[in-house]
Each structure stands twice: as structure tokens, then as C-alpha cells.
Amino acid sequence: MSKDEDLIHEKITVPDEAPRTSRPRLLNLLAGSLICYNATIINGRAGTGKTALVSDFARRSGRSVCWYKVDAADSELSVFCRYLTATISLQRPEIDSERLLRITQSVASDRAELLAESFVFELGHSADEPLLVIIEDLHLVYDADWVVPFFHRLLPLLPNDVHVLITCRSLPPTPLWRLRSKQMLRVLEEVELTFTLEEARRLFRSYGLSEDHAWFGLRETNGRAAAIANFAATPGLAGRAIANNFLSIKPRRLELVSRMQT
């Protein structure tokens, strides 16, 4: 890739689709992380709601947003750098992209660290409005030898007005996630992404469904974001779950329930 025209621009564009209902509990966690930490990692398997959450947060963060969806083909440092500089340049066009790209072409063993330091310099030198840099699906390039040295150097040095938010399906290599012990990194685990009953109620209400529907949907899906969204959106599914549960009650118990009601 020698020109920005060669870039896949969807990879550096914030998704347009908004979630059906927002999740204030998680949005507040991210807002707190924005203030207290240099970076945030959201770790969860496919279908746990990472993209919906961060795209919703991006619109509400009050910051200029740089979005980069990583693909496995971005494992070359030069490719990764080109996309990252391209998305940052949309908000801070004065950064020296060519200088950053030249570093990736070096044969120096510490080029990843040098690139991280140069990014920090450019971000600090071109300070404008606070920036939120979202890097989605970083796990796809974990095997690249530059990932640990680049991020291990970048995250602790980030300017106060820049926050990096990373989504991934597994925790990054150990040297990175251990930064959380130094109050530089906040890690949201998959268990925190699970829908609560109140969040399920809000989602099901948006479809005109009752609290009972929400309860059964939560039970059937274990609160997994994609599964419960599908459950709520599929006509009749929640109603059938209630009916099936009712029919599963043993006849003797049904008789006792009937007597109690009369």
C-alpha cells in the first residue's frame, strides 16, 4: 500500500448502526476509565456486544474519535501503521504520517518502540481536542512480533488528552495486560459484558414485551448480548419460551397452583 486510496476506508470509519438500547452501566464504566486510565481493553468472545458498546460510547464520549478495525492482514507493522496514522489524521491532520511510516521501514530491532515514541510525540505535538482511539479486534495480530513492544511502550506514554480503547477476543500477551496493576490499563472482562436483568427489561420493553419475557430471555441466553438481542427481536420466541415453561410444570403442581388462585 503506497497511497491512502489503497486503504479500506470502512476499517477506519465508526459504525453507523446504534444499539437498540444503550447500557448505562457499561457506558459509565468506560467513562470512568477514560478519566482514570491511559487505556481500556474490552475482552470477550464473538457475540458479547463489544462493537455495539464501543460504537455507542464513541458517540457519547465527548471526544474526537479515531476508529480502526484490525484485520489479520494488518500483521505487518507498516500496514498497521498506515491505517493507524490514517484514522488519527482524520482528527489531527497535522501529524507527520510519512515520518511515522519511514520508521516502519527501518531494520532496527527496536523499531516498534521507536514508532510508539514517535506516535506519542506526534500526538502531544498536535494536541487539539481530547482524542479517543478505538482499535477493534487487536487479537487478530497478536502473533506479530511488534505488538507487545509497540503497545507496551505506547500505552504508558500516552498524553493526558488521548485514550486508547482496544477490543479483543482474548487477553493480549502478558506484558500488556499486566499494565493494569500500574493503574495504566482498565480491563473489562466478558463477565462484565453480560446483560443484567434491568438491561434485559429495557431491551425487551423496546419491543413491547413484558418483564416475564425479559426474565425468560435472560435465562435462555445467559445474558450473552447477541443471543439475547436475537431472542428479543425474533417474533414469538419469548412467548413460546413462557408457554413451554408453563407446560413443563407437572400436572399435580398445576392443580395446586389452580387451587391457590381460587
pLDDT tens-place string over residues 40-78: 999 999 999 999 999 999 999 999 999 999 999 999 999
Note the pLDDT of residue 236: 72
Note the pLDDT of residue 100: 96
Which residues have a Cβ under 8 Å from the Cβ of 91 and sit 6 or more positions away? 64, 65, 66, 128, 129, 131
Note the pLDDT of residue 167: 98
Short-list 192, 74, 87, CA closest to 137:
74
What single-letter DSSP state applies at residue 4? Answer: G
pLDDT tens digits along 179-217: 877 778 999 999 999 999 999 999 999 999 989 899 989
C-alpha cell at 44: 470477550
Note the pLDDT of residue 246: 43
C-alpha cell at 71: 484485520
Contact 131, 92 (CB under 8 A): yes
CATH homologous superfamily of 4-193 equals P-loop containing nucleotide triphosphate hydrolases (3.40.50.300)
Q: At residue 230, what are phi and psi to the nearest 5 degrees? A: -65, -40
Note the pLDDT of residue 214: 92
Instruction: Measure the CA–CA gap between 33 and 28, rounded to whole angstroms.
Output: 9
Q: CA 90, 93, 99, 104: dihedral to nearest 10 degrees?
A: -10
- Global pTM reads 0.88
Task: Give residue limits of the domains in the chain.
Answer: 4-193, 197-261
Tens of each residue's pLDDT in the chain, 262 residues? 445 668 999 999 999 888 999 999 999 999 999 999 999 999 999 999 999 999 999 999 999 999 999 999 999 999 999 999 999 999 999 999 999 999 999 878 899 999 999 999 999 887 678 999 999 999 999 999 999 999 999 999 999 999 999 999 999 888 887 787 777 899 999 999 999 999 999 999 999 998 989 998 999 999 999 999 999 998 777 666 555 554 444 455 545 445 544 4
Note the pLDDT of residue 238: 65
Note the pLDDT of residue 207: 92
